[in-house]
Structure 1
């Protein structure tokens, strides 16, 4: 019983730290203060250490000697990031179209609807998290645990990049709404292609979806000259 309780507490701490990292409340480059987390979350050191181990495995934290740090992400890494994201996106989406079960297809459509709902609420973290869950749901339908885990790992980094854009706030409200409507339309088209079992069309749509993300990210992060010098995620 104590083990179950400890595991639940570790899950709670993990979820809270994960949200703080993805919401950029824990700033990139900052050192994790374990004692402060124990105090703030009203817990013990064991669940904090369990959570840290999981977050290091996720790539959301890294160890540097005895310190645990929120990783940085520099502009120079963007090309490699998008090359990797595109590769795993295409593979997982093609396989999902070929292998998805009826249950998995229903879960994909539900995730599409959940993103639409969150996009219209205007709550940025909930919306980006819903987008992340949608693509994880598609990855789960590819029926290849190695591709799925690799894709989910890089998806976490894309979620951090998206959140940084919203925190930076470099966008007009009109362009933001227009961009969200485009995402919704593309999600629907991808889900329909998966339902139709059309791997080629799913691949093409997923590739276009990554292109949209890359273009939006470039506009948001690389617009002001001063951001080019300082941007680290």
Structure 2
């Protein structure tokens, strides 16, 4: 690779990482227009690496190209979230079942303890860090590159969706208890129980997220 190619590659990676973070955190809200000229200037990159970054985000399903030079952040809507959870359910229930068969039970026993101690209503960031650790341990236990690659794609979208639950402390606490049950089933080597506990968690998560989305879309009484 030439020096220019390597430089463009690093710039494209940096632009992708920045835009991905901003989309996942909501700093770039659904529907935000990402003009090529404006974004290249804002991110301090040339148009070539910016186009590469936008192309990767489009492949991820996080942005939509509406013209050769204009891209918008993809919308979050109920139908799309349901579709995401259909895939998530199939992948995560399988992963939990396999982790119970293949994983280090002591690792998941430690996670049982940690999920019992975490207080997501007080520190949501610490809770989501624990979720990240749980996901990594599941991936390591499953030891299936095809499955973990598919899960990685789902999790890319899930970061955006999870933000809808951050303002619901009761749901976060319930989610921690549900993760504890999944970890306990894996630690016990019970694959069917782990898959069932995952199914229950995902059902409750979807119901909560759709309710949050509906609340956000409902005009407040007295509003103009």
Q: What TM-score does the superposition give when structure 2 sets the normalisation length?
A: 0.75
Corresponding residue of 2:222: none
Corresponding residue of 2:72: 69
Corresponding residue of 1:135: 135
Corresponding residue of 2:23: 21
Contact 1:165–1:221 under 8 Å retained in 2 = no
Matches within 5 A, 1:1-233: 2=3, 6-66=8-68, 67-100=70-103, 106=107, 119=120, 122=123, 128=128, 131=131, 134-135=134-135, 137-166=137-166, 176-223=168-215, 226=218
Cα separation, 2, equivalents of 1:4 and 1:109: 42
Cα separation, 1, equivalents of 2:107 and 2:141: 11
Q: What TM-score does the superposition give when structure 1 sets the normalisation length?
A: 0.72
Cα separation, 2, equivalents of 1:46 and 1:90: 40
DSSP-derived class of the 1:72 partner: coil
List structure 1 segments (4+ residues) > 6 angstroms apart after TM superposition. Answer: none
CA pair 69-109 structure 1, distance change in 2 beyond 3 A = farther
Contact 1:61–1:69 under 8 Å retained in 2 = yes
Gaps of 5+ in 1: 170-175, 228-233
Cα separation, 1, equivalents of 2:17 and 2:100: 31
Cα separation, 1, equivalents of 2:140 and 2:191: 16
Contact 1:132–1:159 under 8 Å retained in 2 = no
Displacement after TM superposition at 1:57 (Å): 2.5
CA pair 68-113 structure 1, distance change in 2 beyond 3 A = farther
Displacement after TM superposition at 1:78 (Å): 4.1
Displacement after TM superposition at 1:50 (Å): 3.0
Displacement after TM superposition at 1:28 (Å): 1.4
DSSP-derived class of the 1:73 partner: coil
Larger gyration radius, structure 1 or structure 2: 2
Cα separation, 2, equivalents of 1:11 and 1:107: 34
Displacement after TM superposition at 1:220 (Å): 1.6
Displacement after TM superposition at 1:25 (Å): 1.7
Contact 1:18–1:55 under 8 Å retained in 2 = yes
Size of the aligned set, in residue pairs, is: 216
Displacement after TM superposition at 1:23 (Å): 1.5
Cα separation, 2, equivalents of 1:9 and 1:137: 31
Cα separation, 2, equivalents of 1:177 and 1:82: 21
Gaps of 5+ in 2: 220-224
Question: Structure 1, residues 138-184: CA drift from partner, whole Å, max 9, x if none?
Answer: 24532333322223222332322222454xx5xxxxxx333222222
Displacement after TM superposition at 1:42 (Å): 2.2
Cα separation, 2, equivalents of 1:25 and 1:209: 28
